[in-house]
Amino acid sequence: MAAPAEPRDAVLAGAYACIAHAGLAKTTLDDVAKASRVSRATIYRMFPGGRDQLLREAVGWEMTRFFARLADAVAAAPDLAARFETALHYAHQAVRDHAVLQRVLATEPEALLPLMTVEQHRVLRYITDYLRPLLAVEAEAGRLRPGVDVDQAADYLARMGLSLIGTPGRWDLEDPAALHTLVATELLGGILAPEPGSPAAE
């Protein structure tokens, strides 16, 4: 991983490295100071809430980086539906294979899950900002159902997508056919207008 250019990101990267090595409970400000090569005083200036704020923001920082990688993974998808199918499949596998996340979830779920919940607003904003221009393109092309508001649709899709990544329920995100049905019916069915000649358009 390349060294972060911004001092704050360097501290967050150092905190994440400490969490990966020792877990949440055993990560101290001294550990983070050494890992990021700054003083404790510098950390307190950046994070006035101290250790609690730093750990919370480190979790949010890694969550945002995860979704930035996800955006790169779906960039070549030909349309909005394909982006969602690719995104859900990629995210499901990435969460499953994320060694740090899985270890901390297994050993310290009571510490991690509240932090993820608090930082979820940051991730939702990131996803919503990503989806809004894509939906605006669909609107300009006349492919949205009448009455669909772009901002509301972006918020809905961000929340539904995030929920499905964490808890897919009855949906098998490894199965392309299931993914296609999920995206076409539950995610985009009420947002995109049916293609002319399709059963839904009749």
Looking at domain 7-192, which CATH architecture does it have? Orthogonal Bundle (1.10)
**For residue 169, what are the contacts with CB-CB under 8 A and spacing of at least 6?**
none
* pLDDT (mean) for 60-89: 92
Check pLDDT > 60 for residue 90. Answer: yes
**Confidence at 202, pLDDT banded by 50, 70, 90:** very low
DSSP, collapsed to helix, strand or coil, labels residue 190 as coil
Specify the pLDDT at position 116.
80
Contact criterion met (CB below 8 Å) for 129 and 167: no
Check pLDDT > 80 for residue 180. Answer: yes
Whole-number average pLDDT of the chain: 89
Check pLDDT > 70 for residue 4. Answer: no
Please report, for residues 23, 68, 108, 126, 163, the alpha-carbon distance to residue 104 in angstroms, rounded to integers and kept in the order given. Answer: 6, 21, 5, 24, 20
Query: Positive or negative, the Cα torsion across 103, 110, 29, 43?
Result: positive
Query: Positive or negative, the Cα torsion across 134, 139, 140, 143?
Result: positive
**Tokens at 79, concatenated:** 């349309």
Domain boundaries, the chain: 7-192
DSSP, collapsed to helix, strand or coil, labels residue 188 as coil
In total, the chain counts a number of residues equal to 202
Specify the pLDDT at position 6.
81
Measured CA to CA, the distance from residue 174 to residue 145 in angstroms comes to 29
More confident residue, 119 or 195: 119
**Confidence at 5, pLDDT banded by 50, 70, 90:** low
Please report, for residues 12, 16, 18, the alpha-carbon distance to residue 41 in angstroms, rounded to integers and kept in the order given. Answer: 15, 19, 18
Specify the pLDDT at position 199.
47
Measured CA to CA, the distance from residue 53 to residue 118 in angstroms comes to 11
